[in-house]
Amino acid sequence: MEQHIGIRNTKSIIFKSVIVFFAFAITLPLMLVLLYIIKQGITQVNWTFLTHVPAPPGEKGGGIANALMGSVIMVAMASIVAVPIGIACGIYLSENPRTKLTYYAGLAVDILQGVPSIVVGIVIYVWIVKPFGGFSAIAGSIALALMMMPIIIRSTEQTLKLLPDSLKEAALSLGVPYHRVILKVIVPCGFAGILSGITLSIARIIGETAPLLFTALGNNYFSLNITGQMESLPHVIFNYATSPYDDWHDLAWGASFILLLFVLTLNIATKLLTRKWKIQL
Amino acid sequence: MENTIVKAENYNAYFGDNHVVKDVNISINKNEVIAVMGPSGCGKTTFLRGINRMHELIPGATAKGKILLDGENVYDMNAIYVRYKIGMVFQRPNPFPNLSIYENVVAGYMLNGLKLSKADKDVIVERSLTSAALWKEVKDSLHKKGTFLSGGQQQRLCIARAIAMQPELILFDEPTSALDPISTSSVENLFHELKANYTLIIVTHNMQQASRVSDKTAFFYMGELVEYDDTKQMFTAPKDERTQNYITGRFS
């Protein structure tokens, strides 16, 4: 026993070093991506870049105002649809853990979450774009909403399941009707978790290009018309990066930087807000 | 008879096929403290939760028979109204973690959407917290979250929350089993004061507690109400052998 202590200690040290190494290694790709995009993109960002539409090939300047606005509009519309539906489903799943509907709805959520985004795009193309006669921001928003919902449903469900039953009993014993118990006690107590699910889902879909290719398509001009084509950040990156013009490549880097900034801000804000609003049980 | 507030007539309660409360008949007078004791799994908590119809919230739980509250069968009334009329305090303190101490006290009004003026609320909060012997300790931190209080204080906050609704009857489900001895005695002292205005039914598995706080004691065993009598009588000269055995510690 005693003579092996040294070897055993060495093994432990090696093991610890290995896990530390990989934990550190996992941060490297992120750092590299961040640094590269910031280096390439930050020089492109200025007031003109944010407030102008793209210039025609060959002309200097131009910006991504149309894409920025399009992304904001489509994400907002997708959220308006996905947040209430997602929270409602999440409440049902956490409140009724053992019904048949829970089993099948839960299965549907898992499968929906696994559907490749391009497939979502094609389906919406067939269901909405074709019958209603053209690409539109509405169709894009529906595709995005479909991708947001599973994330919101699961995070709402997980959050609410963690709340103790005693909380619900406290409210019920005061004669509070079920719907008010849920809306005034259960949901507020799980608010931080639900909110982080929502922001997570936004961060997830804001960079989605595939479902928008078949739905909102894109638009070189500034447009607030939700029944028409609309530009989005990921689409502008896709378009410009694959174009033959150097100016447009620069615009793509700038747009990437803005997109990244948006996702990072959203993630950090979520972390801070959930910490602040976290309810001490 | 007009002094009776709760009367159970052939009350039975079930969890699925499991018959947990068997044919209970009991009559409880106003402004008395009733201790309900018995070994674990004897149906005492289920009986208590039957009174304000919390029992049926558990999936598969059903009940038969009558429980009369002021002469009216609670099973003919709207369950929500029954729960509104009867206060309840649980085994573990469960203040609403998203509400302040102040809001917790008036939660019964707030959560039911009843609008009260600020002045009315102030009065209710002070009166309820005073009755729950908590006012002095929290009057300077009314707007802090209720969950910052100690366990005993939280439990008294829950009592204040029940009192605020001005119920005639308050049910206590092992209210001190999660508390330390000092908090327990502060809650027990409270029972004596609350008796003047309310009827209290206290489920406990602690015999000393039953003998200390109650006027009458009901002894449940295997789902049956074995004996119901003045506490002094029951602890000095129980009529039933099973009560005798339980009190003398021959089984628990």
CB contact under 8 A, A167 and B54: no
Q: How far apart are CA B68 and CA A6, in angstroms?
A: 76
CA atoms in the 13 A half-sphere facing the CB of A7: 4
| Nearest-angstrom CA–CA distance, A181 and B84 | 13
Residue of A163, A168, A172, A173 to mutate, testing the B interface (most B Cβ within 10 Å of its Cβ): A173
pLDDT tens by residue, A60-110:
777 888 999 999 999 999 999 999 999 999 999 999 998 999 999 999 999
Minimum Cα–Cα distance from B114: chain A residue: A176
pLDDT band at B202 (very low <50, low <70, confident <90, very high): very high
Nearest to A54 by CA among A46, A64, A45, A44: A64
Contact A184 B80 (CB under 8 A): no
Do A34 and A240 contact (CB within 8 A), yes or no?
A: no
Quick one: closest CA in A to B108, which residue?
A174
Contact at CB, B84 and A177, closer than 8 angstroms:
no
Higher pLDDT residue, B178 or B73? B73
**CA-closest candidate to residue A120, choices A178, A165, A84, A78:** A78
Where does the pLDDT of residue B93 fall: very low under 50, low under 70, confident under 90, or very high at 90 and above? very high
Within 10 angstroms of residue B212's Cβ, the number of other Cβ atoms is 16
> For residue B179, what is the DSSP state?
S
**Could you give the percent of chain B with pLDDT greater than 90?**
64
> Which residues neighbour A197 within 8 Å (Cβ) at sequence distance 6 or greater?
A86, A90, A151, A152, A154, A155, A156, A159
Among B54, B85, B87, whose Cβ lies nearest the Cβ of A172? B54
Q: CA–CA distance from B94 to each of A52, A167, B161 (Å)? A: 56, 6, 10
What per-residue confidence (pLDDT) applies to B182? 87
Residue A52 at interface with chain B, using a CB cutoff of 8 Å? no
Question: If you average pLDDT over every residue of chain A, what do you get?
Answer: 91
A1 band by pLDDT with thresholds 50, 70 and 90: low
Q: What is the pLDDT of residue A281?
A: 67
Strand locations in B41-181, DSSP E? 61-69, 72-73, 86-89, 169-173
Contact A181 B54 (CB under 8 A): no
pLDDT tens per residue, range A101-153:
999 999 999 999 999 999 999 999 999 999 988 899 999 999 999 999 999 99
Q: Indicate whether B252 pLDDT > 70.
A: no
Does A177 sit within 8 Å of B108, measured CB to CB?
Answer: no
Summarised one tens digit per residue, pLDDT across range B149-189 is 988 899 999 999 999 999 989 999 999 888 888 888 888 98
Residues of chain A with C-beta less than 8 angstroms from the C-beta of B112: 174-177, 180
Collect all residues of chain B within an 8 Å Cβ-Cβ radius of residue A188.
Answer: 98
Task: Look at B83 and A173 and tell me if their CB atoms are within 8 Å.
Answer: yes
Judged by CB atoms closer than 8 Å, whether chains meet at A166 and B95 is answered as: no
pLDDT at B1 over 60: no
CB contact under 8 A, A180 and B111: yes
The ipTM value here is 0.89
Domains of chain B, first to last: 4-247 (3.40.50.300)
Question: What's the pLDDT score for residue B53?
Answer: 93
> Chain A 155-214, CB below 8 Å of chain B: which residues?
164, 166-167, 169-177, 180-181, 184-185, 188-189, 191
Pick the CATH number of A45-277 from 3.40.50.1100, 3.30.565.10, 1.10.10.10, 1.10.3720.10: 1.10.3720.10
Q: Show residues of chain B in contact with A281, CB under 8 Å.
A: 97, 147
Nearest residue of chain B to residue A181 (CA atoms): B111
pLDDT of the residue at A189 = 92
Q: Tell whether A97 is within 8 A of chain B (Cβ).
A: no
Note whether B96 contacts A171, CB cutoff 8 Å: yes
Encoded tokens for A82: 């996905």
Angle at A281 between CA B92 and CA A91, to 5 degrees: 100
- Residue A158 CA to residue A201 CA, distance in Å, equals 15
Q: Determine, for residues A169 and B84 on separate chains, whether the beta-carbon distance falls below 8 Å.
A: no
CA dist B147 → A181, B137, B157 (Å): 19, 14, 10
| Cα torsion B197, B201, B204, B209: sign | positive
What average pLDDT does the segment A263-276 reach?
A: 88
Q: Which of A176, A184, A281 sits opposite B97 (nearest CB)?
A: A281
Cα separation values, A173 from A176, B31, B52, B130, B141, Å: 7, 21, 8, 22, 26
Residue of B nearest to A277 (CA): B98
